[in-house]
Amino acid sequence: MRIKFWGVRGSTPTPERRNSRYGGNTSCVEVTLADGTLIILDCGSGLRSLGRSLLRRNGKQPLRAAIFLTHFHWDHIQGIPFFAPLYAPGNVFQFHSVQHRELELKAAIEGQMSNPYFPVDMSVMRSQRYFRELNAHPVTVGRAEISWAELNHPQGCIGFRVEADDAVFAYATDTEPGSPVHDRNVRQLARNADVFVYDAQYTPEQLRGEKKGWGHSTYEEGARIALECGARRLVMFHHDPDHDDAYMDRLVLRAQSVYANTLAAAEGLTLKIARGNVEVAAVSGVAAESEGNGDGDAAHAALPRGNGTKRGQNAPAVSLVSR
Ligand SMILES: [Zn+2]
Ligand SMILES: [Zn+2]
């Protein structure tokens, strides 16, 4: 399983020089299985770069992808009108949403392209699009089994757990701790995950203060969950628009002092889970633009599983962005 981050910023895109190492695009994560199955989690502004990359990689071959949206806040859907593969005939996309919300999903996607918000409507998109309702049972996509759970966020949100290729990837963004049901749900998603992506938008001080109730969390809570649930890698995600690269560097150090196996997501960061290893490729946001530069030439750190240490502990702390 290969996980690549195309958008890691929370709330709004921040195309600023001071953010450029971690990246300014909003939530979008690509998951590629060993058999080539393509899964896309969230469609923030990072989706645009993913689309360009897919067209380059795929050439004229038709493209098929399963798209899972956590919720419909702008920062998770705003990349859809700019996702070039949606405009090409022959491509097939299956959008997924929770029970009874498939109409909302369709409306949310089509609505942002309606008059007066966008120059053309969705009818100019020539790809085939299907909308599928998620129920209590996991969804099978290729060889992946994907389950979901509700998170604690204004207007609702869901997190996903992708199991495939003998690997577990948990994705829980846009959630605030403190609701027992939702706290349990996050732990269900994270249990024994190889990679656990978690909302770390705020500092612990912010969450205790003025940011309480906004529906986001901290690295501190992420570390607590990872330790409790045996998640091997915690990946801080949904970075605050005001947390620039220098600030993020300090936040990552704070997080690693609580849980050493912590990284912060950055545009272009690629994680490969294979044969029990999580391999981390650290790249800058610029590299994300040019697929091919990203995976090979950046600093790598292979992190062995079961190296005689307790699961989730004592593995080397990894610097996440190339400097
Ligand atoms: Zn968000
Ligand atoms: Zn949100």
Tell how far the Cα of 18 is from the centroid of ligand 1, in angstroms.
20
Q: Report the pLDDT averaged over residues 177-186.
A: 98
Tell how far the Cα of 121 is from the centroid of ligand 2, in angstroms.
24
Rounded Cα distance between 42 and 40, Å, is: 6
pLDDT recorded at residue 144: 97
Beta strands across the sheet bearing 139-141: 139-141, 144-151, 157-164, 167-172, 195-199, 233-237, 262-264
Tell how far the Cα of 184 is from the centroid of ligand 2, in angstroms.
19
Tell how far the Cα of 299 is from the centroid of ligand 2, in angstroms.
32
pLDDT recorded at residue 121: 87
Tell how far the Cα of 169 is from the centroid of ligand 1, in angstroms.
19
Over residues 133-148, the pLDDT tens digits come to 888 899 999 999 999 9
Residue 319: band (very low, low, confident or very high) from pLDDT cuts 50, 70, 90: very low
**Mean of the per-residue pLDDT values of the chain:** 86
Maximum Cα interatomic distance, the chain, rounded to a whole number of Å: 60
Percentage of residues in the chain having pLDDT higher than 90:
72
Among 149, 155, 258, which Cα is nearest to 200's?
A: 258
Do 130 and 94 form a contact (C-beta atoms < 8 A)?
A: yes
Tell how far the Cα of 311 is from the centroid of ligand 1, in angstroms.
30
pLDDT recorded at residue 109: 77
Taking 50 as the threshold, does the pLDDT of residue 309 lie above it?
no
Which ligand is nearest to the Cα of residue 76, counting in written order? Answer: 1
Q: Report the pLDDT averaged over residues 153-167.
A: 95
Tell how far the Cα of 171 is from the centroid of ligand 1, in angstroms.
13
pLDDT recorded at residue 296: 33
pLDDT recorded at residue 279: 85
Least confident range from 111-120, 165-174, 183-192: namely 111-120
Among 10, 43, 7, which Cα is nearest to 218's?
A: 10
pLDDT recorded at residue 101: 64
Q: Report the pLDDT averaged over residues 101-110.
A: 73
pLDDT recorded at residue 33: 97
Tell how far the Cα of 202 is from the centroid of ligand 2, in angstroms.
14
Which ligand is nearest to the Cα of residue 78, counting in written order? Answer: 1
pLDDT recorded at residue 207: 96
pLDDT recorded at residue 104: 72
Which ligand is nearest to the Cα of residue 154, counting in written order? Answer: 2
Q: Which domains does the chain have, with CATH numbers?
A: 2-303 (3.60.15.10)
Tell how far the Cα of 237 is from the centroid of ligand 1, in angstroms.
10
pLDDT recorded at residue 311: 33
pLDDT recorded at residue 305: 35
Tell how far the Cα of 105 is from the centroid of ligand 2, in angstroms.
15
Rounded Cα distance between 259 and 220, Å, is: 9
Tell how far the Cα of 153 is from the centroid of ligand 2, in angstroms.
7
Residue 21: other Cβ atoms inside 10 A: 22
Residue 316: other Cβ atoms inside 10 A: 12
Rounded Cα distance between 52 and 55, Å, is: 5
- The environment of the single-atom ion ligand 1, i.e. residues with CB closer than 5 A, is 75, 174
Over residues 12-28, the pLDDT tens digits come to 999 999 999 999 999 99
Do 19 and 247 form a contact (C-beta atoms < 8 A)?
A: no
Q: Report the pLDDT averaged over residues 98-116.
A: 76
pLDDT recorded at residue 89: 94
Q: Report the pLDDT averaged over residues 300-314.
A: 32
Tell how far the Cα of 202 is from the centroid of ligand 1, in angstroms.
12
Taking 90 as the threshold, does the pLDDT of residue 117 lie above it?
no
Tell how far the Cα of 89 is from the centroid of ligand 1, in angstroms.
30
User: Residues for the chain: how many in total?
Assistant: 323
Do 174 and 69 form a contact (C-beta atoms < 8 A)?
A: no
Rounded Cα distance between 269 and 298, Å, is: 10
